[in-house]
Amino acid sequence: MSEPKRVGLFVTCLVDLFRPSVGFAAVRLLEAAGCEVTVPSVQTCCGQPAYNSGDSADTRDIARGVVRAFRDFDYVVAPSGSCAGMIVKHYPELFRDDPAMAAEAEELAGRTHELVSFLTDVCGVTSVPGKYDGTVTYHDSCSGLRELKVKQQPRALLATVDGLDLRELPGAETCCGFGGTFCVKYADVSVEIVGRKSADIRASGADALLAGDMGCLLNMAGRLKREGSDIEVRHVAEVLAGMLNQPAIGDGQS
Amino acid sequence: MQPTSHAFKQNAKRAMVDTPLQESLRRLETGFTAARQAAADGLPEFEDLRDEARGIKNHVLEHLDLYLERFESRVTEKGGQVHWCETPRDARNAILEICRKVGARTVTKGKSMVAEEIALNPFLEENGIEPVETDLGEYIIQLADEPPSHIIGPAVHKTKDQVSDLFHEHHQKYGKTERIEEPEALVAEAREILRQKYFDADVGITGANFLIAETGSTVIVTNEGNGDLTQMLPRIHIVVASLEKIVPTLEDVSTILRVLARSATGQEMSVYTTFSTGPKRPEDLDGPDEFHVVLLDNGRSEMLGTELQELLRCIRCGACMNHCPVYHAVGGHTYGWVYPGPIGAALDPHLIGLEEARHLPNASTFCGRCEEVCPMRIPLPKIMRHWREQAFEHHVSPSPERFAIRLWAAIAKRPMLYHLGTRIAMAVLGRLGRRRGRFASLPLAGGWTGGRDLPAPEGRTFQAMWAARGGRTGR
């Protein structure tokens, strides 16, 4: 048997703070795929809030910390297309005037992946531990979709989950209106956009909504719950890993 | 037009409760996105053509001076005249001077965004010249006294009912007293009224989708044929165009045309593609006696060699706004100036100043769909981010926002502080939110909770739980 892949898990701040279950689901999936998972304790955030607000000096400082924290792994994996996209697409760009750092950022970018696409494309995973009894629909989060081309991978793995019926979401590739700091800076517009998304989610007829990014999930769950919907909202990793003990996002202890 | 971009938030609020506008935006979203997708899917070489089109424009932008001079000499050879105009004022004055020379009272106009950019209509009116818009959409908004809300569908925000009302109100003076509703009848009425205007006009003004250096030709694409009548019937044809519209050859135009209409409306080609080369020659049956090209810079040459250069590839197809979730929610007028949507968010700060246009590059979710569909592959989000950086650096961003971001960054740079702070905060929030699983309101989170709940955190952070169970942390 070959050496296990040494994976550094980039938890992402939203999973770390709001939904640790997603982190544990990611660990279970990675370990099931034969990876040795480490979670460097010096990690915080990828820097997107600062980056998207035009604060590039702070972003560079944060990015340097991430580069340092994840030097020693074969791969860096994040349960988020947005944060992985930040590292893969934007870190090299951030250091374009600093050749030494740019080279390090490029090197990190080359071994950084979004969780689900890592499982399928790098680990060759074709079956997962999860079982699910019900109909789900899946929203393609923008960064994962457009920056990292995550589209078929989650669908392929969801298709292997026992009992799960995947129903395509109308407008699955349309933004949910989260947009990081956009959702509070332009709250009215953000709410209008997520309102349209929630109408599409309801129209899908699914019992549950899945996606691969906590930001979008908090936004869509928050809107669905405000509308009184009982559609369950979960990160796709929870379903793939079969870790459904935690109440769904925005649902209370019943 | 006087920009209202600084009032983006108020504009957006109004737009989102404007029911007819919202109806129109829904139609636009579903119609244009499906049409573009079908057109792109129907042409196997579409992606390659996009690359080629980008290459053509990139080449031109590297040699803009050369191609502009060649264009001018070809226009002159053919008997036309090029007027170099650095500012909108220069362009307006050049046009007025040409109009005055022939004593023009009425000018017909084809659709031109550059004419909007230089605010030509009010200027002509102030000087006693009646401008008549001949593109149906432009004609409608001229009656409504509104700016365009979309660069290829200026009246895309108007419903059929609103058009009926406008025609009923403004066509009385032509003896049209009955309010009509059928789209065909509305078009026929506009056509009948405009027909006489073409004959009355002394000068016809059109824009240009392309200027061809090889031949000195200007090109317009339309679906109504109004452009042809505008430029063929009056004695004088004035083309008003910005200098980045230049392409080297006819061959290049034919390449870019293959991505233009497909990206814009999903058509393979627009209904009319009209090439104008100089004034009427002795052997020609039709055509103007004079042919003028008013070539506008308005800050574009300053964009060369900067982060903004790629914006000069834009062919004004409108695909970016047709696919933008923010545009779909708020419509074009909310952006408050001539160019709305993602292209406006990237371009307007340069044209009207970052202070005025500050909201535009910020009011984007960075979903990236604009860049995905832009036929010229302009990295619109990247350019919006450039403006955000400028705004942050020059303290144009509001202070509370800057403070919040810098505070988060200060914590994110210090893992010990991050762990301590987040553990306490999540423990509190987790306890408060455990029963319901969400918050309907929360101090300092009003922006979020105005229209949605905030899901409660589980209570412990992942990193704390991981450490507690002895997981590998690499230290």
DSSP A83-101: HHHIIIIIHHHHTTT-HHH
Burial of A230 (0-12, 13-18, 19+ CB in 10 A): exposed
3-state secondary structure of B210: strand
Burial of B391 (0-12, 13-18, 19+ CB in 10 A): buried
3-state secondary structure of B294: strand
CB pair distance less than 8 Å for B462 and A146? no
CB of B18 within 8 Å of a chain A CB? The answer is no
Domains of chain A: 5-121 (3.40.50), 126-241 (3.40.50.11810)
CA-based nearest residue in chain A for residue B398:
A185
DSSP A165-197: EE-PPTTTTS--S-TTTHHHHTHHHHHHHHHHH
- Using CA atoms, how far apart are residues B387 and B366, in angstroms rounded to an integer? 13
Name chain B contacts of A8, Cβ cutoff 8 Å.
474
Name chain B contacts of A56, Cβ cutoff 8 Å.
389, 392
Give me the interface pTM, i.e. the ipTM: 0.97
pLDDT per residue as tens digits for the range B113-156: 999 999 999 999 999 999 999 999 999 999 999 999 999 999 99
CB of B64 within 8 Å of a chain A CB? The answer is no
- What pLDDT, on a 0 to 100 scale, did the predictor assign at position B64? 97
Contact B126, B93 (CB under 8 A): no
- What pLDDT, on a 0 to 100 scale, did the predictor assign at position A1? 55
* Structure-derived torsion over alpha carbons of residues B81, B54, B270, B197, reported in degrees to the nearest 10: -30
CB pair distance less than 8 Å for B330 and A251? no
Q: What is the pTM of this model?
A: 0.96
- What pLDDT, on a 0 to 100 scale, did the predictor assign at position B446? 84
Domains of chain B: 1-42+318-397 (no CATH), 61-302 (3.40.50.10420), 406-468 (no CATH)
Contact B157, B166 (CB under 8 A): no
* Residue whose structure tokens are 């592959």: B377
B3: left (phi > 0), else alpha (psi -120 to 50), else beta? beta
Helix (H) / strand (E) containing A13: helix A13-18
The one-letter amino acid at B60: V
Contact A178, B447 (CB under 8 A): no
- What pLDDT, on a 0 to 100 scale, did the predictor assign at position B92? 98
Residues in chain B with pLDDT < 70?
A: 475
Please, which residues 384-423 of chain B have a Cβ atom closer than 8 Å to chain A?
A: 385, 387-393, 397, 401-402, 405-406, 408-415, 418-419, 422
According to DSSP, the residues that pair with A131 across neighbouring strands are A162
Residues in chain A with pLDDT < 50?
A: none
- What pLDDT, on a 0 to 100 scale, did the predictor assign at position A95? 97
Order of strands across the sheet that contains A131-138 = A162-166, A131-138, A208-211, A232-235
Q: Of A204, A198, A132, whose CA–CA distance to A167 is shortest?
A: A204
